Amino acid sequence: MKIAILADPLDNQRGGVHVYTRELITALARLDSDNEYLLVREKATPAIPGTQSLVVPNNRFGLVFAAFRMFFIVPYLLRRHQVDIVVEPAHFGPFNLPRRVHRVTVIHDLTPLLFPQYHIWHSQMLQRLFLKGILKRASLVITNSRHTRKDVLEHFPFLKNKVIAAHLGANPALTPLRTRAWLDQQGITTPYWLTVGTIEPRKNLVNLLMAYQQYRQNGGSGQLIVAGQRGWKSEPFFEALGQHPYRADILLTGFVPDEALPQLYSHAQALIYPSEYEGFGLPVLEAMRCGCPVICSSVSSLPEVGGSVAYYIDYQEPASIARQMQAVDQLDDSARSALKEQSVEWAAQFNWAAHAKACHEALQKLAAKQPDSRHV
């Protein structure tokens, strides 16, 4: 069986979908030597062992060429290579495939529909124009949590028998570390509080800034480290940051390379993740793998990932965040050590091999079925 994966996120972004695409492909290639995996990419490197790359450069002539590539060039090449299944990890496609080809779409969350005010205009428009049609033509939809599956079925009940939930994993290199060379280079001192992710409204970082102010005013100490790239509609965060009374103790690192993440998590007082909504919440799992205490919202998928180990907050209330910061502060050495062990043990059940196995089994079942006659 020939399985094509639309792997553009490997080359055009650094966020969560990039991580997902890379880890899914790597884990599938390790698990499955019987099927052939063809990656549609913008660049040839870095190569992933056990796969072949079909390079289709992008952005030569802006959005017009990008659309032509998505709707015509890539589908033509997939037909020419006679693929059996096409997987779209970024949930926007695939398009214009013959009926014999099974289409698989991965849904990470439905935030453009649930929180359109937090997305740029063209993202909202594209989701409204295309998502329902994409899902109607899908043979299989893969979601990253039970909560995301529930959201998908509430909005698209016609998918009842086509949706599976498979929890994500985390990079196995994420383990507790004593070394801190990267932290020292960045001027990060201990103790510090950490948040990880793109700076955008859904991450609720304005409330985090307010909570940090309350915590410091009540005698708390330590830097606040904001690790992640600047995203869309982030102006309110930067306005609040500029006026913050403890601005000198708030450090923005920008994008953090994979090799530095274990240090960042391992030495933090806690990861604070006050997001309004998450399809999964990968930083929560990453932190726990490093034995880092987690303070996170009690909504959407986050309780699935945090289990009974995380400290939960009301994301709408800065005082709730500040109280949990104080609670973590008050842990003695014995309690902190026990929490570290519990976090690592809990996180171990989430791994990319298990995610890939669930996806592989679903793809194998799909291959035995006749494609839906609605596929065009």
Residue 373 belongs to a domain: no
Q: Looking at the structure, tell me whether residues 165 and 29 fall in a common domain.
A: yes
Q: Looking at the structure, tell me whether residues 324 and 359 fall in a common domain.
A: no
Residue with tokens 């994979």: 258
Domain of 159 in residue numbering reads as: 2-169+352-367
Q: Looking at the structure, tell me whether residues 189 and 247 fall in a common domain.
A: yes
Residue 187 belongs to a domain: yes
Over 50: is that where the pLDDT of 371 sits? Answer: yes
Strand partners, 194: 225, 271
Q: Looking at the structure, tell me whether residues 132 and 185 fall in a common domain.
A: no
- Give the single-character DSSP code of 73: I
| Number of structural domains in the chain | 2
Q: Looking at the structure, tell me whether residues 263 and 302 fall in a common domain.
A: yes
**3-class DSSP state of 188:** coil
Q: Looking at the structure, tell me whether residues 142 and 204 fall in a common domain.
A: no
pLDDT digits over 131-149, tens only?
899 999 999 999 999 999 9
Q: Which two tokens stand for residue 260?
A: 């530095």
Residue 374 belongs to a domain: no
Q: Looking at the structure, tell me whether residues 159 and 208 fall in a common domain.
A: no
Q: Looking at the structure, tell me whether residues 165 and 32 fall in a common domain.
A: yes
Return d(Cα 44, Cα 47) in angstroms, integer. Answer: 7
Residues with Cβ within 8 Å of residue 123, at least 6 apart in sequence:
112
Whether the CB-CB separation of 132 and 112 falls below 8 Å is answered with no
Whole-model pTM: value is 0.90
Residue 375 belongs to a domain: no
Amino acid 122: pLDDT: 65
13 vs 145, which has greater pLDDT? 145
Give the lowest-confidence range in 111-115, 152-156, 331-335, 354-358. Answer: 111-115
Residue 278 belongs to a domain: yes
Q: Looking at the structure, tell me whether residues 199 and 130 fall in a common domain.
A: no
* CATH number of the domain that residue 24 is part of: 3.40.50.2000
Q: Looking at the structure, tell me whether residues 224 and 259 fall in a common domain.
A: yes
Residue 175 belongs to a domain: no
Amino acid 166: pLDDT: 97
Q: Looking at the structure, tell me whether residues 136 and 249 fall in a common domain.
A: no
Tell me the residue type at 59.
N
Omega before residue 191 within 30° of 0, cis: yes
Amino acid 299: pLDDT: 97
HEC secondary structure over 297-348: ECCCCHHHHHCCCCEEECCCCHHHHHHHHHHHHCCCHHHHHHHHHHHHHHHC
Amino acid 375: pLDDT: 46
pLDDT digits over 209-234, tens only?
999 999 999 999 999 999 999 998 99
Give the lowest-confidence range in 111-125, 257-271, 272-286, 336-350. Answer: 111-125
Q: ∠ CA(287), CA(169), CA(227), 5° rounding?
A: 35
294-297 and 270-273 as β-strands: parallel, antiparallel, unpaired? parallel
Strand partners, 103: 86
Amino acid 374: pLDDT: 43
Q: Looking at the structure, tell me whether residues 154 and 215 fall in a common domain.
A: no
